[in-house]
Each structure stands twice: as structure tokens, then as C-alpha cells.
Copies of this chain bind each other. A is one copy, B any other.
Amino acid sequence: MTQPAWSSSAIGAVALTDLLGHWSAADGPLYRLLATRIARLADTGELPAGLRLPAERDLAAALSVSRNTVAAAYQVLRDEGMAESRQGAGTRIVPHRTTAAAVHRANGFFAGLLSEAVVEADLSLAAVDCAPQVAAALTDPETLLDRAEREAVIRTDGYFPHGLPELRSAIASHLAERLGLPATSAQVIVTTGAQQALDLLIRTEVLPGQPVAVEDPTFPGVLDALHRAGAAVIGMPAGQGLDPERLEHVVRTHRPAMVYLIPTHHNPTGLVMPAGSRHRVARIAAAYPDTLFIDDMTLAELPLHDGSRIPPLAALAQDHPERPNVVSVGSLSKLYWGGLRTGWISGSEGLIARLVAAKAAADLGSTAFQQATVAALLRGPHEDIVKWRGEWLRARHDALTGALRASLPGWTWPEPDGGLCLWARLPGEADSSAFAQAALRHGVAVVPGRLLSAGSHANDHVRLAFTQPPDALRAAVRQLAAIPGPSR
């Protein structure tokens, strides 16, 4: 099911850096923080017994610390019986309290989310606060749901692998009326966020070893799910937008099981794929019916500027109803609140039936009652929330870009059409992994480009989420600007 990230019983400095996450964001000397975090990873089995740790010099470079810091951390591990060093064989984790079980592949992006360390300014997670209309509905559902609507949920057995019928229907109307994607309830499954939507699609439609093509950079959550499923991930350069020629070449050459795209407000670039390219992608999908094309619309309702809506890929594919291989995925996490964990997949009835069976085995359905509340939000104050979030978004975007232009004039980024992030290129020969480590010690978390790249490229980029309040963003940029080195 999962493959160890190290095949030869050794872990590289960069892979270990990913596993370490926000290791330095705590009080105490760096060598002690580093030793504590490595010991913790050994305890959990993420660093299995016998594994060789990176050479001190390599790990020091990857972490942007002195070699003495790593040497002292390794010494602590030896003193505590967690590691041993032998001449010529390096430093290895000693068998101790690990369980004998499959290890999972390192994922440095989620390491931050899973860590309990607190950073002053987290620009690494593109998570929004809860919209006030949503908070009111959650704390007092009776304001939105009448007695009959509440009892329509409460009086059932509570198991809805397809999703609550009221929410499926509300999502289908939302897609048809607001997003330009005609859909019926039977073409919709409700998921626990877009992350589960992607995981279910991958588990159902991709076999281990099959190729899957993604934009590079892309949403790191899909990379984690693909790696766990054993897919062979193919990256297609997309830092300035995806070239459909390149896509056609990859599909023709590799015949991937799946192509995952974010055509509207791409994560992380924020760009919109132009109409011409979309039509081209729809034609490629029609020509390759054995490949499933995923249009991730999670950020579609987060435009930074007014403008006409560009139809989703699945709407263009409707000229080819006999080719149900274009699928849409979405979520309310970035518009309403991530804590809702409400996502959806829209596809052919056949695909939805297979996904529902997979969801039954995965969790028997998402939390039931809240689905009634979310359906009422979609039918009620949705447009107010879109308007409120739009203002929220533009204030934060303007604060971050203004501060960067003033304090870090060497940084460049494609001007985003929407979404929650900047995809910023550091000046000169900067190493964004090392820069991210240094930033963490200045209290600011950013995502080094490598973690959003299928091929661990993009090491001269960082992803900056502008989801913190404007003042926090300006303060974070001041901290980033104080970091010495080639990033200036």
C-alpha cells in the first residue's frame, strides 16, 4: 500500500528535512530541538530502526544550520541510546520502541499541519477563517433550518454514503446555476473536503504503478495521496500556466490513468487557464477516453478581480456525453471554512456509483447533520459569503504584495487571477528550502517550492499564502526581509 521513502535503509538530507517539519519553531537550543524531533520520528516508526541518517554536512546544508548543530544533535541521540555511529557506516537509528509496521512516505507539506509547534506567522497553510454567516449557522442551526428540515436528518439512521439528499441537490443546483456546470443529484457525491474527493478518485481509478499527470507545481495534498497509492507521478511545467501542447504530448506518450488540473485560480500560481486552452484540453479528453481528467474547482469562487466566468472543463466536455471522463472536484473549505470539511465530486452516474461504494468502505459517509446546515447555506446566504470573502481576500492580497514590493523588491511572481497564494521566485541563486528553514527561525512558515513539485523542482520558489490578517502579513514580510543571504 505505502512504500518507504528510503529503499536502501538510508534517508537523504532533503527527505529528512521534510519529515522534520517545523522542528525549529520552539524554545531551546537548535541542537536540542533537532535531536528531540529526530527521536520523536524514531519513536513513531517514521524513521525505522537501522535507518542511516544523512551525513552531518548534508543535513546542516539542508537545514541551513552549522555543522556543529547537527553534530551536537547526533551526539544527544547517541547519549540517549537512540542512535549509534560506526566508522565508515554513518549514524543509524537503533532498534528500540518502534513498531514493526509499514512506514509511510515522507510528506513535508503536511508535517507542518501535523506538528504542534506554533509559529508567529504561518504563511504555509492556505486556510481561511470561518465566515461569520457560517459561524452563526453552526452555532445556531435553527436560524437556517426549520423543524421539518432538521427532522429530515435527525429521524434517519444517519448513514449517507452518497451524501445527504438535500445537500447533493443543493450542490447540483449550485454547480448548474453559479459555476456553469449542469449536474443532477445523481452526478454528485459529498465528500469530507476536496482532499477526500481526490483520495477516493485515486483509490478507485488509479492502480499502483499507473502514471498520473499533474501540473508542476500543484496542490501538495494530491501529491501525498498519489504517492501513498503508488502512482507514477508525471509533472508538467505550469509555473506560468500549462501549455496544452505539453499536456497532449504527455497523454499521448504515457496514457496516464488520470490527469489532475487546477484550471481556475491555480494552486499555487493563482492563474486562470485561458478559454482557448480549456477547449483544447476538452478535445484531448475526448480523444483519450481511458484517461480521467480532474478539474479541481476548489478555488474557483475566489477571484481577485471582476471578470466573466470561464466555464469548467466538464461543461466543455458536454459536447461529448459519451465520454464521461471529465470530472469536477470542489470544496467549500476556502470560501466558507475548512472546518466544515465539505467537498464534492461531480461526474458520470457510473463513476459516482463506484465512488460511493468506495466511500462506504472508507467511512460509511460524512457527518450527517451538518450537511443540512451546509445545504441551507448554499441555498441562502451563499452570495453574501462570496462577496464578504472577496473583500477579505483582496485586502490580504494587497497587503502581502505591497509589503513584498516595498521590502523584498527582488522577489517576483505571476500576478494571480484568484486563489489564496503567491508563487514567488526568490532572486539570484537562492535555495528556497534553506530559506524556509531560516524563515522558520524568524517565526515565519513558508512552503519551499520543492514540496509542491512532482519532481522536487522549483527550489527557487516559495508559496506564500495570504490568509493571515493584513497586519500579520506585513509583519511577516518584515521578518522575511530581515533574513540575511541571497534572498534579498
CB 8 Å contact bits of A128-165 with B (1 = contact, 0 = none)? 11100001001111100100001001111111111000
Q: Chain A 263-291 against B: per-residue CB contact (8 Å), 1 yes, 0 no? A: 00000000000000000000000000110
From 97 to 119 in chain A, residues with beta carbon under 8 angstroms from any chain B beta carbon are 97-104, 107, 110, 113-114
Pick the 4 closest A-B CB pairs, nearest first: A158-B339, A339-B368, A127-B157, A44-B353
Can you name 6 A-B pairs with beta carbons within 8 Å? A104-B357, A130-B155, A192-B364, A340-B368, A341-B367, A370-B370
Chain B residues within an 8 Å CB radius of A2: 203-204
Assess the A364–B350 pair: CB atoms within 8 A. no
Partner of A221, one of B128, B324, B348, B364: B364
Q: State which of B102, B139, B156, B350 has its C-beta within 8 Å of the C-beta of A339.
A: B156
Look across to chain B and name the residue whose beta carbon is closest to the beta carbon of A126. B157
Contacts of A333 in B (CB 8 A): 158
Contact (Cβ within 8 A) B361 A159: no
**Chain A interface residues toward B at CB < 8 A:** 1-2, 43-46, 97-104, 107, 110, 113-114, 125, 127-130, 135, 138-142, 145, 150, 153-162, 191-193, 195-196, 199, 203-208, 221, 224-225, 228-230, 257, 289-290, 292, 322, 324-325, 333, 337-342, 348-351, 353-354, 356-358, 360-370
Q: A113-B360, A155-B130 are in contact. Are A341 and B324 (CB under 8 A)?
A: no
Instruction: Tell whether A102 pairs with B204 under 8 Å between CB atoms, given A45-B354, A110-B361, A367-B370.
Output: yes
Chain B residues closer than 8 Å to A364, beta-carbon distance = 113, 192-193, 195-196, 221, 338, 341
Q: How far is the CB of A277 from chain B (nearest CB, A)?
A: 25
Report which of B128, B141, B353, B358 forms a contact with A139, defined as CB distance below 8 A. Answer: B141
Given contacts A45-B350, A45-B354, whether A154 and B142 have CB atoms under 8 Å apart is no
Q: How far is the CB of A346 from chain B (nearest CB, A)?
A: 14
Query: Are B199 and A113 in contact, with the CB atoms below 8 A?
Result: no
Report which of B46, B138, B162, B229 forms a contact with A154, defined as CB distance below 8 A: B138
| Additional 10 contacts, C-beta under 8 A, given A193-B363, A199-B362 | A1-B208, A2-B204, A45-B350, A104-B354, A135-B154, A139-B141, A195-B364, A338-B368, A341-B368, A362-B362
Contact A366 B348 (CB under 8 A): no
User: Do residues B110 and A357 form an inter-chain contact, with CB atoms below 8 A?
Assistant: yes
* Chain B residues positioned under 8 Å from A153 (CB to CB): 339
Assembly CA distance A365 to B367 (angstroms) = 12
